[in-house]
A and B are shown apart, each in its own frame.
Chain A
Amino acid sequence: MDTKKLSRRDFLRLSALTAAGAALAACAPAATPAPAEPAPEEPEKEEPTEAPAEPEEITLELWAFVNTHARWFESMAEDYKAEKPYFNLDVSEIAYTDLHDKAQIALQAGGVGAPDFLDLEQGRFGGFLRGGDPGLVDLADLLKEGGYMDKLVASRQALYTYKGKVYGVEHALTPVVFFYRTDVFEEAGIDMEAIETWDDFIDEGKGLVSDTVKLLAFPNHELLLRSRGADYFDADGNVTLDSDLSIDTMDWILALRDEHGVSERPPADDAWWAAIRDGTYLSKEGADWYAGFFKDNVPELSGKWRAIALPAFEAGGVRTSCHGGTGSCIVKYSDYIDEAWDFMQYSMLSIEGNVRRYEMTNLFPPFIPAMDDPRLHKEEEYFDGQDLGGLFAELGPSVPAQYQSPYRAELNSNLSPQFTDMYEGNVTPEEVFTQVSETIRDVMAEESA
């Protein structure tokens, strides 16, 4: 047996390997700030103190979860730097769930590890309000002093307002429209502009359905419910997920398949765009940002889509809804709150910034002075030359309100895993909605106790 010899040789090889590792590790400090010392946010240049006119260079950090937002912030920061050369913005793009989870931990830890700016999605925002102090700057007074209160769409700002404090500024109006395959409907001789209600749409479009083609995948329940004037929570924060209207809306969604045969369960997220590309679904309800997703994910369908106002449940009913939304927030533990607020005004609260955001991301401004800007209205090549901005602007005033609750994230976490079961008919909407509502009511009762 020569195990001894073998192990010595192994050890030699191993030491060679580890030596290489040490060498690689050793060059770490050269390329990066030394890992041993936590690098505080030092100003990059040390300006002599006798020149107070030239402020020290500062770097603010921002976390975003969509690359379009990240790109827009970077572009705004670049221009801002022309006015304020000392200002730097370091934008980190972090995955959606990760960003919100990390931000909550950092804020819970008293702001350690938190950036200066946070982009928080409205669906997760409620969770930050749970303990009473989200660790974000209350912008109410700043917005009032700056005269911005009347310039922002109130129903959107309501998402980030809690007990009189305003913790964020909304990125998008999120008016919901109804996208459809104009090439297919036109060929079938269907005039989509004449559609007013869902019944109209189903009657007109039925003939296009086949084994592999459906009029639409099951639409989003929350979105439809809002178009009918209700939501998962009411204005007072009560759970209304199990309201008759909510149950009726879900029953209606299932009837699209079971009665009308025009719809089906959507494929998993991963395969969704493939199904759109293959022409499996001829229409899709979606907010302003969804327009950008079409361009990004299925560029090959350029020119084949248009949009109308969302069909109503009854003639004369509301023709839109709201869906999604993201608030830009300032962390109250930031060392540069004044500078952050200044940049926020420059980017989030200016006509220029709002227009550029629309151009880069299709987010329609919730900032009223920007809404009439001619640059929002242009013929969109992707949408067959349609002026989408015009449609968004037209629907803007009727976008329904949406109410924030500290319990929304938990409600969604309980609800979302159950949709497939409802779709498959294993449970009724009434059972699911009642059960989830009761669970959340219990949590609320327990926490207020």
Chain B
Amino acid sequence: MKQWQRRVAPYVFVSPFFIGYAVFFAYPVVHGFYMSFFKQTGIGSEPVFVGLGNYLKLFSDETFLRSVFNTSYYAAGSVFLIVPVALGLGLALNIRRLPVREFFRLFFFSPLITSGVVVAIIFRLVFDERYGLINNFILAPLGFDGYPAWLIQPALIMPSIIILGLWRYTGVNAIYFLAGLQSISPEIWEAASIDGANRWQVFRHITLPLLRPTLLFVIIIAIIGSYNFFGEPYLLVGPEGGTRNAGLFMTMYLYLNGFRFMKFGYAAAIGYALTVIILVLSVIQLRLLGAFRED
């Protein structure tokens, strides 16, 4: 009886996710895939089968390709700027002798407690050309002449969004690193420093390898998050991504096609292109850093 219960229990335990997933995600995901082979152009129109037409069109759609570039630009910023800064912050917040350490930990996490809508609106005030915080309180005192139009110049739009991302997501990533660091036994470091290793050596040869699973986790979450980014850029630079679509993310282009131009099939195809990109990047990543493991 007990044995039987023990064999069945895991299936019962894991079933809620898969049942719920079947209803609320699998069906929409499959339905979306089906829709991606049809052309549908507006309210009341009949879907027309176009085969791979929507997918082929993606390759010649300049706006789509721009959105892929933009999104990848942000993802690169996320992986190569936000993640390293978060790692540094995590290391700093792990130092036992740091004064008011607990306060810092909480404080750097705080940008995440505000809604993306609010963040976008506040950052319009941060970046405003004439009345913005950056131009008035950082650049002006430093003696800059002629203020940059952060949210208007195409070259500055994506850096602005990355700055927003840095502000908002560094803290939570630092906390992930902190968690990873705390699972490393302090004796390992002590042993290393007795051996005369300097700080960089300790970091490079001991801390970083031990943090690998955390790093993997954080980078994957950063990539997925980047390719799913929507609310902040949508409200910061507008649905079209601002000048020359420089802030147009793939999700925004999907939304624009699906809910403004009413091209559901095309929007679904964009969704699947997005999925493939995330999938490929994640697999590359897993290969590079090693898969999730049970330790």
Contact = CB atoms under 8 A, between A and B. Distances in A.
Interface of A: 97, 100-101, 104-105, 107-108, 127-135, 267-268, 270-271, 274-275, 406, 409-410, 413-414, 416-421, 424, 447
A108 B128 contact: no
A267 B260 CA distance: 26
Contact of B242 (A97, A104, A409, A417): A417
A131 B45 contact: yes
B105 interface: no
B45 A418 contact: no
14 contacts: A101-B255, A104-B43, A127-B260, A133-B44, A267-B130, A268-B151, A268-B152, A270-B124, A410-B261, A418-B243, A420-B153, A420-B154, A421-B243, A421-B244
Interface of B: 40-45, 63, 124-125, 128-131, 149, 151-154, 238-245, 248, 255-256, 259-262, 264
Contacts of A414: 63
Given A104-B260, A131-B262, 18 more contacts: A101-B255, A108-B43, A128-B43, A131-B40, A131-B41, A131-B44, A131-B45, A133-B44, A135-B43, A267-B129, A268-B149, A271-B128, A274-B130, A406-B42, A417-B242, A417-B244, A420-B244, A421-B154
Contacts of A107: 43-44
A133 B240 contact: no
Contacts of A418: 243-244
**The 7 A-B residue pairs with the shortest CB-CB distance in the complex, in nearest-first order:** A131-B42, A130-B42, A133-B44, A131-B45, A420-B243, A131-B44, A101-B259
Nearest to A409: B260
Contacts of B152: 268, 420
B43 A130 contact: yes
B22 to A, nearest CB: 21
Contacts of A410: 260-261
A447 B248 CA distance: 24
B262 A127 contact: yes
Contact of A416 (B40, B44, B130, B240): B240
Contacts of A270: 124-125, 128, 131
B262 A130 contact: yes
A310 to B, nearest CB: 27
Nearest to A278: B130
Given A409-B260, A413-B256, A134 B239 contact: no
Nearest to A135: B43
Nearest to A103: B43
A424 B63 CA distance: 21
B261 A135 contact: no
Contacts of B154: 420-421
Given A271-B128, A420-B152, A127 B244 contact: no
A417 B253 CA distance: 13
A127 B244 CA distance: 22
Contacts of A275: 130
Contact of A104 (B125, B149, B259): B259
A101 B262 CA distance: 9
A418 B238 CA distance: 13
Contacts of A128: 42-43
A interface: dominant SS: helix
Contacts of A131: 40-45, 262
A121 to B, nearest CB: 13
B43 A413 contact: no
B44 A413 contact: no
B45 to A, nearest CB: 3
Kindly name the residue among A127, A271, A414, A417 whose own CB sees the greatest number of chain B CB atoms within 10 A: A417
B260 A134 contact: no
A426 to B, nearest CB: 8
A21 to B, nearest CB: 17
B56 to A, nearest CB: 12
A127 B258 CA distance: 12
Contacts of A417: 238, 240-245, 248
A325 B226 CA distance: 38
B289 to A, nearest CB: 28
Contact of B131 (A108, A134, A271, A406): A271
A128 B42 CA distance: 7
A128 B63 CA distance: 22
A108 B149 CA distance: 39
A72 to B, nearest CB: 27
Contact of A127 (B45, B151, B255, B261): B261
Kindly name the residue among B43, B153, B242 whose own CB sees the greatest number of chain A CB atoms within 10 A: B43
Contact of B44 (A97, A100, A134, A409): A134
B101 to A, nearest CB: 17
Contacts of B151: 268
B279 to A, nearest CB: 28
Kindly name the residue among A100, A107, A271 whose own CB sees the greatest number of chain B CB atoms within 10 A: A271
Nearest to B131: A271
A104 B41 CA distance: 12
A275 B256 CA distance: 31
A128 B41 CA distance: 10
Contacts of A129: 42
A33 B129 CA distance: 46
A419 B243 CA distance: 7
A132 B238 CA distance: 28
A214 to B, nearest CB: 14
Contacts of B63: 414
A130 B40 CA distance: 10
A414 B241 CA distance: 11
A275 B131 CA distance: 10
A416 B63 CA distance: 14
A118 to B, nearest CB: 12
A268 B123 CA distance: 13
Contact of A271 (B41, B130, B240, B264): B130
A441 to B, nearest CB: 15
Kindly name the residue among A100, A270, A275, A406 whose own CB sees the greatest number of chain B CB atoms within 10 A: A270
A435 to B, nearest CB: 9
